[in-house]
Structure 1
Amino acid sequence: MMKISLFYEFPLPRPWSDGDEHQLFQHGLDEVEAADKAGFSTVWLTEHHFLEEYCHSTAPEMFLAAASQRTRDIRLGFGVMHLPPPINHPARIAERVATLDHLSNGRVEFGTGEGSSVAELGGFDIDPADKRTMWEEALEVSIRCMTEAPFTGFKGEHVQMPARNVIPKPLQSPHPPVWVACTRPSSVQMAAQKAIGALSFAYTGPEALKDRVDGYYRTFEDEGAPVTPAMNPNILAIGGDLSMMVAKSDDEALKRLGTGGGFFSFGIMHYYLTGMHTPGRTGVWDLYQEAVKEDPTLAYGPGRGAIGSPDTVREFLRGYEASGVDEIILLLNPRSHEGTMESIEIMGREVLPEFIERDAKAVAAKAIRLAPVIEKVEARRRPSEAPLFDETYAFGGLPTGKGGKFTAGEIPEAMAEINEGRVKAAQQEKDAREAVSSAGS
């Protein structure tokens, strides 16, 4: 069994011309619409900030909302949304995820993450030592905001929020499937322990991935204790070796992909490990092109992604299917848009059908196989520590600042103006009636 999905970072190499960003998103919408018709399982969209050239996907809910209106079946995944409160407040997360769930008729996958680049953590003034705790608190609060009516409040190290009824609630009940980004084996284990899905980076091929998949399900059965109302025991694979470009022949696929196939991996190295970046000045694509000249294998090709003819890609995907992974996400690195549209069409016609058929049967078998395991995991669920709702609690009145200083003078001024207008209108109406009465007599 294995679902096959697409992953967007929206890379945009320099040099930039007017209209390039506009075209980037319009092309993306065309491709997602084609992917829906082709039978891809999910389109996953990352959220990153300040990673110019490498990732222009800074507001995934906006793109996914647009895509929801041009598609019918494909699921819409945050891959991932950053949960640290300085980036996204948990109540706002709940509101946006729930709204998208309604717009899409219940197709949201809620992927979450901590953030890890200096560009992002530093840009939002987040101490890297705090990001795991921030994620844990924000996950709890955002899910509680989606499911409690009302949310009864939370006082943590990084999140403090009073009772409020966060609306709307998601269409999927009790909430969309929850995932977490896993860059290390220990993160995969953590996802299994929390009984949520693992968005697992896989850079070493399908053979090593099998151990990670087996470890996830072993940990889920032995140690899993749900932290969300709905469990999501699934693991998927994403990684630099999973770029996609399919054509009639291997040579044609390579031609349409160009040198862009390794840009995802290079961007990770640049922004997360080895690069020094000057905002608005450093040319990431230029650095990548120079690196490819020195080592052409950085650009990837058949055998290092779903790149090549349908036969080549089919065999590549079967190798990952054999690992037991539940889903594989194919990256769309810088490439030809026209080539990608044809690639999606070929995938839908010549590659996906056999995987979709096998996956449907395997999902049913997995549900039967996991039923007793899920019952065992459910028994480990810890009692909720959410405070009881104080039925006497209410809010209202005018906002005040520190020390009780009044800070909302515009409200009474506006109300006074409204009341003055009402009085004036009432007087005009009275004068008009009296004038009519006088004329009649």
Structure 2
Amino acid sequence: MKISLFYEFALPRPWVPDDERQMFQDGLDEVEAADKAGFSTVWLTEHHFLEEYCHSTAPEMFLAAASQRTKDIRLGFGVMHMPPAINHPARVAERVSTLDLISNGRVEFGTGESSSVGELAGFNIDPADKRGQWEEALDVAIRCMIEEPFTGFKGNHIEMPARNVIPKPAQRPHPPVWVACTRPSSVQMAAQKGIGALSFAYTGPGPLAERVRGYYQEFEDKAEPTIPILNPNILAIGGDLSMMVAPTDEQALQRLGVGGGFFSFGIMHYYMTGQHTPGRTGVWDRYLDAVKEDETLAYGPGRGAIGSPDTVREFLRGYEESGVDEIILLLNPRSHEGTMESIELMGKEVLPEFIERDEKQVAAKAKRLEPIIEKVEARRKPLAGPEFDESYSFGGLPTGRGGKFTASEIPEAMAEINEGRVQAAQRAKDEQ
């Protein structure tokens, strides 16, 4: 089982002007330390308008910076929102490919639909359309990465003419593809498509074992992939509380403080029960009030990688026994020093044995899946658009409104450039 980190970049109020800058700088230090410690991947979410709960709105920017301070750790979108009003699929392909190139092929391409009112309504997306938009956008984004040129697409939600989308990724034909799964039916859908399941399940290793078995059974029996490269893997979140590792259990609890449950509370606030006034509602204050009523919101034994290295090791072994391929561990808000020590202790005292077992497991899994993948590939449905019209081309001035509007800024700029050339030539002639 691989062990990875998961960033939301929560930033509880009160804020001072330097808080967001410091949050990202601390995060870069942590990822650099995680790379040296041996963590498999850093997964970074994308959310919009969810203040305090998540300030990770442009994950590709942070991951690009992290790529230049690390060598081995993989860089995961956990996830990129695919509705075209948020991220047009051509832009998705461009950004994912660019990050893959500058990181020397370390991108994990996690995708999702978005689920909160704040985000869907903020971008005027009808929730009834989000699954269809994800499906179309994923296919278009992958085709943009692999086709030269992309031959065009016309669907229910996306329409795009032929263009050669550049650059192309380092991992050919594309980085590993994942989809966010919060329900068992979503895990089944991921298996049917032959892509990785980012299974955000908080139920613990017991029920997770059944979900893992279900994923691989569905993959074997019903997968009809269209994505060129299969990614039969299932990932889960390691509990609903933040990671905090210290020399003793008592020290870990002290450093965790009350922040451990803020992630779960934020989900409830923004996705289920909360009413939010932008720029006004104090989410952290509401969380503290809830913790006063029920202290178990902030901590409960066995609900996260919290404690001494021995305690955390045993916690993770439970997940390893479930058969899950990868575990992601949450990070506590405003706990940089504690997080840095947690990462160091994990690297020295916990990760080595898991890394050694995972290497053997990956080899055994590849051998076990060989005949299954052969069956799945036989059911493949090619991902392809229309034939490219070799006579097609584009050019000239952009026009609109029935040809009555012409974008004239470029001709004006070119006229200015030409005039500059004439004047420069004249000056040179006069100086002779």
TM-score bin (small chain): over 0.9
Partner of 2:314: 315
Alignment check: 8 A CA contact 2:139 2:383 kept: no
SS in 2 for 1:192: helix
Matches within 5 A, 1:109-120: 109-120=108-119
Greater mean deviation of Cα atoms: 286-295 or 301-310? 301-310
Alignment check: 8 A CA contact 2:332 2:339 kept: no
Alignment check: 8 A CA contact 2:194 2:219 kept: yes
Partner of 1:356: 355
Partner of 1:146: 145
Partner of 1:334: 333
Offset of 1:110 from its aligned partner? 0.2
Matches within 5 A, 1:13-52: 13-52=12-51
| Partner AA of 2:67 in structure 1 | S
Greater mean deviation of Cα atoms: 400-409 or 270-279? 400-409
Partner of 1:189: 188
Partner of 2:61: 62
Greater mean deviation of Cα atoms: 419-428 or 159-168? 419-428
Matches within 5 A, 1:72-91: 72-91=71-90
CA distance in 1, matches of 2:300, 2:273: 24
SS in 2 for 1:305: coil
Identity rate, percent: 82
CA distance in 2, matches of 1:335, 1:262: 13
CA distance in 2, matches of 1:240, 1:316: 10
Partner of 2:378: 379
After superposition, give the CA deviation of every residue in 1:174-211 in whole Å (9 maximum; x if it has no partner).
10000000010000000000000000011211000000
- Asked whether 1:130 is paired with 2:129, we answer yes
Partner of 2:273: 274
CA separation of 1:36/1:383 partners in 2, compared to 1, >3 Å: closer, same or farther? closer
CA distance in 1, matches of 2:16, 2:431: 63
Offset of 1:416 from its aligned partner? 1.4
CA distance in 2, matches of 1:144, 1:105: 21
Alignment check: 8 A CA contact 1:14 1:285 kept: yes
Offset of 1:335 from its aligned partner? 4.5
After superposition, give the CA deviation of every residue in 1:258-314 in whole Å (9 maximum; x if it has no partner).
011111111000000000000001110011111111100111244110000011100
Alignment check: 8 A CA contact 1:106 1:172 kept: yes
CA distance in 1, matches of 2:192, 2:368: 19
SS in 2 for 1:404: coil
Partner of 1:406: 405
Offset of 1:227 from its aligned partner? 2.0
Offset of 1:37 from its aligned partner? 0.3
Alignment check: 8 A CA contact 1:75 1:108 kept: yes
Partner of 2:387: 388
CA distance in 1, matches of 2:425, 2:352: 70
SS in 2 for 1:170: coil
SS in 2 for 1:243: coil
- Asked whether 1:206 is paired with 2:205, we answer yes
Partner of 1:225: 224
Alignment check: 8 A CA contact 2:152 2:386 kept: yes
CA distance in 2, matches of 1:292, 1:57: 25
CA separation of 1:239/1:312 partners in 2, compared to 1, >3 Å: closer, same or farther? closer
CA distance in 1, matches of 2:52, 2:318: 32
Partner of 1:166: 165
Offset of 1:423 from its aligned partner? 2.3
Offset of 1:417 from its aligned partner? 1.5
CA distance in 2, matches of 1:159, 1:6: 34
Offset of 1:87 from its aligned partner? 0.1
CA distance in 2, matches of 1:53, 1:295: 21
| Partner AA of 2:312 in structure 1 | V
Runs of 4+ deviating beyond 4 Å = none
Alignment check: 8 A CA contact 1:83 1:113 kept: yes
Offset of 1:123 from its aligned partner? 0.3
Ranges in structure 2 where 5+ consecutive residues have no aligned partner: none
CA distance in 2, matches of 1:47, 1:396: 35
CA distance in 2, matches of 1:247, 1:428: 73
SS in 2 for 1:30: helix
| Partner AA of 1:275 in structure 2 | G
Alignment check: 8 A CA contact 1:198 1:236 kept: yes
CA distance in 2, matches of 1:384, 1:106: 23
Partner of 1:243: 242
Offset of 1:385 from its aligned partner? 4.1
Offset of 1:432 from its aligned partner? 4.0
Alignment check: 8 A CA contact 2:236 2:324 kept: yes
CA distance in 2, matches of 1:429, 1:256: 71
Greater mean deviation of Cα atoms: 420-429 or 208-217? 420-429
Normalising by structure 2, report the TM-score: 0.98
Partner of 2:253: 254
Alignment check: 8 A CA contact 2:44 2:79 kept: yes
CA separation of 1:239/1:266 partners in 2, compared to 1, >3 Å: closer, same or farther? farther
Offset of 1:70 from its aligned partner? 0.4
Greater mean deviation of Cα atoms: 232-241 or 393-402? 232-241
After superposition, give the CA deviation of every residue in 1:60-93 in whole Å (9 maximum; x if it has no partner).
0000000000000000000000000000000000
After superposition, give the CA deviation of every residue in 1:130-166 in whole Å (9 maximum; x if it has no partner).
0000000000000000000100000011110000000
| Partner AA of 2:19 in structure 1 | D
Aligned residues: 432
CA distance in 1, matches of 2:203, 2:128: 28
CA distance in 2, matches of 1:431, 1:23: 57
SS in 2 for 1:278: coil
Alignment check: 8 A CA contact 2:212 2:322 kept: yes
Offset of 1:382 from its aligned partner? 1.2
CA distance in 2, matches of 1:274, 1:211: 29
Partner of 1:155: 154
Partner of 2:425: 426
